[in-house]
Chains A and B, each alone.
Chain A
Amino acid sequence: MHQYDVLVIGGGHAGVEAACGAARMGARTALVSFNLDAIGAMSCNPAIGGLGKGHLVREVDALDGVIGRAADAGAIHYRMLNRSKGSAVWGPRVQADRVRFKAAVQAIVRAQSNLTLVQGEAAALVLEGGRVAGLELADGTMFHVKHLVLCTGTFLGGVLFRGEERFEGGRIGENAAKRLAAQLRSAELPMARLKTGTPPRLDGRTIDWAVLEEQPSDGEAWTMSPLTPARVNPQVFCAITRTTQAGHDAIRANLHRSPLFSGAIEAAGPRYCPSIEDKIHRFGDREGHQVFLEPEGLDTHMVYPNGISTSLPVDVQETVVRTMPGCARVEIVQPGYAVEYDHIDPRALTPDLQVRAIPGLYCAGQINGTTGYEEAAAQGLVAGLEAAAAALGRRGPALDRANSYMAVMVDDLTLQGVSEPYRMLTARAEYRLRLRANNAATRLTGLGIEAGCIGEERRRWWERREGSREMFHVKHSELIHARALADVGLPVRRDHGEKTIAEWLRFDGVTPEALAPWLGDVTALDPQLAEEMAEDAAYAPYLARQDAELRDLRASEALPLAADFPYGEVPGLSNEMVERLTTAMPGTLAAAGRVPGVTPAALSALLVHARRRLSEGKCAA
């Protein structure tokens, strides 16, 4: 009998963060994967980060996670999306060499103390009194463990579609998946189906790169993780091509052969990442759609055409890609396909990603209805840290909607559920101005140190940085007279009087660069921190206003709603609303306000009844 505090099933992005996170907390942890060599594989596009997603990568990294450092190790192309807009929506994104990324993940995983890797097929959960007591492998090996994190991707009922073809999918062994799946189904967890898709992979040697617009890696020096001192790999360029009318005609002529339109796939796909046949069907008047040709690595010719995910038959896929400029002779190495799969309705989970009906069982990643490496990694981290905290009798880091995208995602998932694969968007975060990709460490590393999930190297880095912060504070409170700024040509009225550097940074046209003569050497101390603090100063009036809003929010966060809160007994709630609230089980009144469809009148009814229960001594919590 093997004994662990936390056991993680699955070695994808969620599983890796869950296992390493739990181990960093000090929990004796095991990671079970069907194939240890597949740990850290990128199964879809070779990119990490992007709008909203880059924030998640930085946050996972700020809690000393794996994905940021591994992305840097594999990066062959860096691009800061949305650079022209406010910094809170900048999206750091890299393209990573698959081989190098995976090698980096495996190196980190193998070097992690407290973590044991186990190759094998997870066959069945062992339950005692309704809660997790262990795991049985297909070969009969038994693990005694009370906290188990399920990071199994799309293994539940996955079916691949390509034209008229069907394949039962999933990289995990069928038997294991079937037994475990049957067990989960018998637990009567609410399940639903979603679909996602992938484009065909192209042979880069058959692309005429010379005729295409190049998109070089940006010339700056930023990295995904501040612990990566510099970019390590040679940087490659991507290219931009587009679909054409001839290609669209071929798609239209064959729409009936796409499983999306023949009715074979009924599950909802992501609206923000539609298949090419969807794009043509819905926006048929467009002359062409942009396609990014992204190299998959330094030692491979494989190219990922971003923007033409499809499940059309192979012959149609060929016609479509060959009608794109620069691709007349292109060869498809691996055709695109769609995947339909089961997921758990995440409203069945508590805010620590634990299955409410099976205490001790945590779920993270695609199984919760999300899409994307970054979303998976962030959930894996949360579940791993929470599982370890529960096993060790401690608390995980105090995440909430005002301090992290991770908490925004978990809150959205567990309260609202999903109707399409959930992808992070900056629009989901109401406190976006304070949740910037470049201040993730400021927001979270301190919380991570408190929770005990930060390693030695990052802790030292953090302490150095906090020392510098003090010097910036002193500098930012120095006074400058308006005349002095006007004298050097800044757009400031001479009669504006004296203000601190921090206050001047709020003025249009007064940038940290322009104030360089006054800031002096302090900027060189830590350029990233200098930038971050200048942004804080510029956003200060907005942040101050949000502070007032947050006080209100925290007041209603303080009114707990118990899991068994009798919504049905609250008069005035419609049946539909009772059902939504009962399914979502918001933990507090504030959370109830975020459950979709809850009206102002219903919220007041809840407020009064929750308070009445409290005053009657029936503690609602």
Chain B
Amino acid sequence: MSNPPTIFALSSGAPPAGVGVIRVSGPAARAALLALTGRLPAPRRASLAQLRDSGGAVLDEGLVLWFPGPNTATGEDLAEFHCHAGRAVITAIETALAVLPGLRRAEPGEFTRRAFANGRIDLAEAEGLGDLLAAETELQRAAALANAGGALSRQVEGWRERVLALSAEVEAVLDFSDEEDAADLPECFTWNISALTKDLAEWLARPRSERLGEGFHVVLAGPPNAGKSTLFNALVESEAAITSPIAGTTRDLIERAVAIDGVPFTFVDTAGLRDESTDAIEAIGIDRARGALARADLVLWLGCEGEGPGGAWEIAAQADREGFVPKQRAQFTVSAATGEGVALLKQALVETARNALPKPGEAALNARQHDRLGEASEALAAAASLSDPLLVAEELRRARLALDRLVGRTTTEDMLDALFGRFCIGK
């Protein structure tokens, strides 16, 4: 078998930055280290070195690390150059690497793909790693880390064991019914299925990992000129915006994703809700606002008390204005202009969102995993409802198969491509 090409890429953020990390993975990683630094450092120890190109010109001075395979992140020989991350320096080092024999730039997702291909991680872990690298907030990072660390895989293994134990009970009845010990299913059988189904349901009810990416949806609603936009600005503008405002395709719907205390939010400012509008374009805006309300995790209602959607928080806005009418049961009284109450509101939002999004360190399911787990849960429910042990056994087998697919015990190429297509380069 010929050697796979050795790949390299900048695996830290885009330059310019303080420090950049260039990773090299593959059989020629050792040669790359030798070529650039003239020596091979002790394994797994950071050491200072001058990086030179083939002509001997010094490109940079930085830390280098050497991880001999196969016990590395990718399962291959691995080298890391921690250098100054100016664009010129990075380009120079990458150019020096590209001319070495057997080296080429990594494709998107290729480092993770190699880790997966070399059996270093299973599918759920690879997906977790993908999420980890896409994570922009602390909460996202913690959830992705849990998956990448195998928390989900371990959990699935636990469920699989329990389904296996249930299968064993049924199989005993099917194959050894003429022996007295195994004539009937034990009384606790259905109870055990229900307990397992309950565990699965709890996971299925958890917010998915995509939800972490989208953030906790907070919609500001109320009649025109209720102060929605001013409050919206107060909520998002002081925060580090993660993406540029998605200027909601209409003049009337504006979304912005921000992180407050590490918790991802999407705030949506809507068109004022009026029933008697005659302006056709405004009517479209109002329709969209209603759509946004339907998708909302939480609505901040700035209109007349009691007229907002169920579950909305009553906000008494524009407290600084003359003629301000306080609400009887306002959860928050705020003035975006003076800042009154805004900090309190933010704090409450963060608390509420934390409870609604995956807990830090808790593994979260993505859509694919959710589907597989849903299938397992459906099969278990069917198993609990059937009386023919033969069909109970078949449903338990289906549940097992769904769990196997969840962690990639049965793999197909389509799934691999779908998985690796979305990775950033160099991770």
Contact = CB atoms under 8 A, between A and B. Distances in A.
On whether the two chains bind one another, the answer is: yes
Interface of A: 51-52, 81-82, 85-86, 88-89, 272, 283, 289-290, 425-427, 430, 432-433, 542, 545, 549, 552, 555-556, 566, 569-573, 593, 599-605, 607-609, 611-613, 616, 618
B118 A572 contact: yes
B322 interface: no
What are the 7 closest A-B residue pairs judged by CB atoms, nearest first? Answer: A572-B119, A86-B390, A605-B119, A608-B117, A572-B118, A427-B171, A601-B122
B2 interface: yes
A604 B116 contact: yes
Given A290-B180, A600-B408, A616 B1 contact: yes
B122 A604 contact: yes
B174 A426 contact: yes
B409 A603 contact: yes
Contacts of B391: 86, 542
Given A545-B398, A552-B412, A571-B69, A600 B118 contact: no
A81 B123 contact: no
Given A272-B176, A426-B175, A555-B412, A572 B388 contact: no
Contacts of A425: 171, 175
A612 B4 contact: yes
Nearest to B180: A290
Given A51-B178, A571-B118, A604-B117, 19 more contacts: A81-B177, A85-B389, A86-B389, A86-B391, A425-B171, A427-B167, A432-B393, A555-B412, A556-B410, A571-B70, A573-B119, A599-B119, A600-B407, A601-B119, A601-B125, A603-B410, A604-B122, A608-B116, A618-B1
B340 to A, nearest CB: 55
Contacts of B75: 571-572
B279 interface: no
Of the four ranges (under 10, 10 to 19, 20 to 34, 35 or more), the interface on chain B belongs to 35 or more
14 contacts: A51-B174, A51-B177, A82-B177, A86-B389, A272-B176, A427-B175, A427-B393, A433-B390, A542-B391, A542-B394, A603-B408, A603-B410, A604-B411, A607-B416
A499 to B, nearest CB: 20
A427 B397 CA distance: 10
B288 interface: no
A357 to B, nearest CB: 25
Interface of B: 1-2, 4, 69-70, 75-76, 116-123, 125, 153, 167, 171, 173-181, 388-391, 393-394, 397-398, 401, 404, 407-413, 416
Contacts of A566: 1
A427 B4 CA distance: 42
A14 B27 CA distance: 52
A5 B60 CA distance: 76
Nearest to A306: B178
B117 A89 contact: no
Contact of B408 (A290, A552, A604): A604
Contacts of B120: 572, 601
Given A556-B410, A604-B408, A571 B76 contact: yes
Contacts of B167: 427
B397 A430 contact: yes
Given A571-B69, A571-B118, A607-B411, A85 B388 contact: yes
B251 to A, nearest CB: 48
A85 B390 contact: yes
Contacts of A616: 1-2
A601 B398 CA distance: 21
Contacts of B171: 425-427
A605 B404 CA distance: 16
B122 A552 contact: no
Nearest to A618: B1
